Amino acid sequence: MILSHALDWAGAAVALALLSAAISLLSSWAPTLLRKLVMPLFGLSGIAAAAAGMLTLIQHGVYTAELPLGLPWLPWQVRLDALSGFFLLLIGVVSTAVGIYGIGYMRGYEHGREPLPVLGGFAGLFLTGMLLVVLADDAFLFMVAWELMSLSSYFLVAYHHEHAANRRAAFLYLLMAHIGGLAILLGFGVMASFGDGFAFDAMRDALLSPAWASVAFALAFLGFGMKAGLVPLHAWLPEAHPVAPSHISALMSGVMLKVAVYGFIRVVFDLLGEFHWQWGVIVLVFGSISALMGVLYALMQTDLKRVLAYSSVENVGIIFIALGLALLFFSGDHQVIGIVALVAALYHAINHALFKSLLFLGAGAVLHAANEQDLEKMGGLLRRMPWTGFFFLIGCLSIAALPPFNGFVSEWLTFQAALQSWHLESGVLRSIVPIAAAILALTGALGAACFVRVYGVGFLGQARSRHVRRARQVPLSMRIGQGLLGVLCLFLGVLPTTFITLLNAVPQELFGYGLANATAHGWMWLTPVSAKTASYGAPLVAISLAVALGLGLYLLGRTIWRVKRCDTWDCGFAPPTPNMQYTATGFAQPIRRVFGLLFRIEQRVESQKDGRLRYRLAIADRAWGLFYQPVARIVENAARRVVKLQSGNVRVYLGWSLATLVVLLWIMA
């Protein structure tokens, strides 16, 4: 097959993902097939998707096709434009890294009890669903692909089903995924009722009243926000992501959450096509709450993958802060600033996909080598796993938004949009935006503290457990997968103007123009609004930091060469042991005291049989008690009443059937 344009590459990506799922069925007879053929095909699918996205952004093209599938009167429509091309690029890059990483990671599953066809098959279907969601050009295909993505990821979350907690997490994920899917379906129904069908082109041409447009927005925000993990709809996320295999966790957190962001942008910024300031306020408020609560809950966790899961809530909140700012400025007819905010949201979406996938792959490497994901039992991993420690450090610096890495650029762009709030006419809005910016600044500081804690406790110091002391370097393919994402984190941080030149295709397609001033002063300076307002010279910052780091290492090396090495003076006491190190819980204790009201904290001291005392601390998410447990009690009470209908008497059942028939005939009449 000759891949003549971007849509051919996208079709090849879907075909390769399906092929990897089909070949996985044979892995029960040949376990090595999973890492020798299935994961390479998975990676090739990612390469094809990245190529399709890159070609679309470069060529500024729009490609459409009609597939001979679906219903007789409703065939599937596909479309590849700049917005879907950007998210195809995002999906492709992470999938490529996961495919390479999985070649070595799958070795640990070859002799396990769980069936390998389930892992490889549903991973391929999961990728297929995400690709088709981005390519869909009608509501029917979109919902079919959305359900394929949700159902296949459910089986991956429940892969280690022998643990009751894993089954509970998978059920919660499936339940909330279907509630969100129902909201999205109803939102499409509202738009289709005013248009001429379920095709997205018909929805773009539909004329909705402000009230019905707000209903469609609310349903889309509920459905996509639940999938993205916005507070208080986030309860499934910290339960599901930690229990899935680590490369699946990377796909779920790094990619699947961005597919939900894509759906929200597609509906609100493209299909609805009109903006109300009330929408912006809602998105901004929930984004701010999610960012702050996500990082606070991440700081309280000791399970490494739960830390990363809650951190995803934080970063999704940052993306929605930028989207809320975009809606506010577009509603006030400040197009340039609105596009700055939209570009900031898209930039942070791909940044989070890169560094969060890198961190989850790093956590998987630690779990693979040390069989441990509890921070309190780690320590000293940098000495035992230097490459994983180095790449994990890049991920920590990126997610902490420190220059010259990519996380700084997108958060800086978000701040630049927020600082233009004086353009807004409403005094209330001019007050709300600085509050959101202050929350974003606080979130950034807490995020840096969170990952200083993670890296310091997990990778520095001394090993706290026997498993960690025996850890060794992971296979080469796992290191290459992490290294690919690490290099891209640095590239998007050092050369942001290069990527924004590509990214400009998205606002140009949606609104007719992009950030004309962003690269007006060349590749060296990023000037999103204008050079007089603010500029950021990422290459200069990177060069300055590299020179300072090199000089510091040189001076440190000369000092170490001259100093006589000997044991540390211990003041006459016993030599230090791993138990004397800072723990993850102790590191977060001051922050826990300041923000204690936001958590449900249980702490007690227990006396052991040998006379020693044990301190126990449990920190729970207040969202469970405020939002989920009341609903669960209502459902349980209703179920108890409904179960009374099951009396065991046939005459009673016939009576209920007759009554139901009479009511239906009365309604139909």
pLDDT in tens, 30-73: 888 888 899 999 999 999 999 999 999 998 888 888 888 877 77
Q: Is residue 389 part of a domain?
A: yes
Same domain flag for 400 and 315? yes
Query: Who wins on pLDDT, 61 or 85?
Result: 85
pLDDT at 3: 61
Query: Who wins on pLDDT, 131 or 649?
Result: 131
Q: How many residues are listed for the chain in this entry?
A: 669
Whether the Cβ atoms of residue 402 and residue 395 lie closer than 8 Å to each other: no
pLDDT digits (tens, 9 = 90+) for 424-480: 888 788 889 999 999 999 999 999 999 999 999 989 888 888 888 888 889 999 999
Same domain flag for 338 and 394? yes
Query: Who wins on pLDDT, 552 or 49?
Result: 49
Whether the Cβ atoms of residue 407 and residue 344 lie closer than 8 Å to each other: no
pLDDT at 565: 65
pLDDT digits (tens, 9 = 90+) for 286-306: 999 999 999 999 998 888 999
pLDDT band per the 50, 70, 90 thresholds, residue 235 = confident
Q: Is residue 329 part of a domain?
A: yes
Q: Is residue 30 part of a domain?
A: no
Range of the domain at 653: 595-668
Q: Do the bridges between strand 74-80 and strand 63-71 make them parallel or antiparallel, or are there none, so unpaired?
A: antiparallel
Q: Is the pLDDT of residue 650 over 90?
A: no
Radius of gyration of the CA atoms of the chain, in A: 26
pLDDT at 396: 95
Token pair 């992490």 in the structure block, residue: 482
Q: Is residue 213 part of a domain?
A: no
- Measured between alpha carbons, how far is 121 from 128 in angstroms, rounded to an integer? 11
Same domain flag for 339 and 407? yes
Mean pLDDT, rounded, for 394-419: 92
Q: What is the dihedral of CA 414, 420, 422, 425, to 10 degrees?
A: -80
pLDDT at 332: 85
Q: Is the pLDDT of residue 346 over 90?
A: yes
Alpha helices (H) in 464-583, listed in sequence order: 466-469, 476-494, 496-503, 505-511, 538-562
Query: Who wins on pLDDT, 163 or 79?
Result: 79
Query: Who wins on pLDDT, 433 or 653?
Result: 433
Strand partners, 74: 71
Q: Is residue 556 part of a domain?
A: no
pLDDT band per the 50, 70, 90 thresholds, residue 1 = very low
Mean pLDDT, rounded, for 140-154: 94
Q: Which strand (E) or helix (H) includes residue 613?
A: strand 613-621
Determine if the peptide bond prior to 575 is cis (ω within 30°): no
Same domain flag for 620 and 519? no
Q: Is residue 160 part of a domain?
A: no
Q: Is residue 604 part of a domain?
A: yes
Supply the pTM of this predicted model.
Answer: 0.91
Q: Is the pLDDT of residue 220 over 80?
A: yes
Token pair 């129904």 in the structure block, residue: 189
Whether the Cβ atoms of residue 460 and residue 379 lie closer than 8 Å to each other: yes
Strand partners, 70: 75
Same domain flag for 528 and 603? no
Same domain flag for 287 and 348? yes
Q: Which DSSP string corresponds to 327-364? A: HHHHHTT-HHHHHHHHHHHHHHHHHHHHHHHHHHHHHH
In whole numbers, what is the pLDDT of the chain averaged over residues?
Answer: 87
Strand partners, 66: 77
Q: How far is CA 562 from the centre of its chain?
A: 48
Same domain flag for 430 and 523? yes
Q: Which DSSP string corresponds to 400-436? A: TT-TTSHHHHHHHHHHHHHTTGGG-S-HHHHHHHHHH
Same domain flag for 627 and 590? no
Nearest to 377, CA basis, from 479, 260, 461, 258 = 461
Query: Who wins on pLDDT, 615 or 6?
Result: 6
Where are any strands of DSSP class E within 61-116?
A: 63-71, 74-80
Same domain flag for 587 and 606? no
The listed range with the strongest mean pLDDT (261-270, 508-517, 613-622) is 261-270
Nearest to 352, CA basis, from 394, 399, 305 = 399
Same domain flag for 427 and 519? yes
**Which tokens go with 63?**
């490609």
Q: Is residue 572 part of a domain?
A: no
Q: Is the pLDDT of residue 564 over 80?
A: no
Q: What percent of the chain has pLDDT over 90?
A: 49
Query: Who wins on pLDDT, 29 or 71?
Result: 29
Our count of domains for the chain comes to: 2
Whether the Cβ atoms of residue 235 and residue 628 lie closer than 8 Å to each other: yes
Same domain flag for 585 and 608? no
Same domain flag for 589 and 636? no
DSSP 8-state secondary structure symbol assigned to residue 266: I
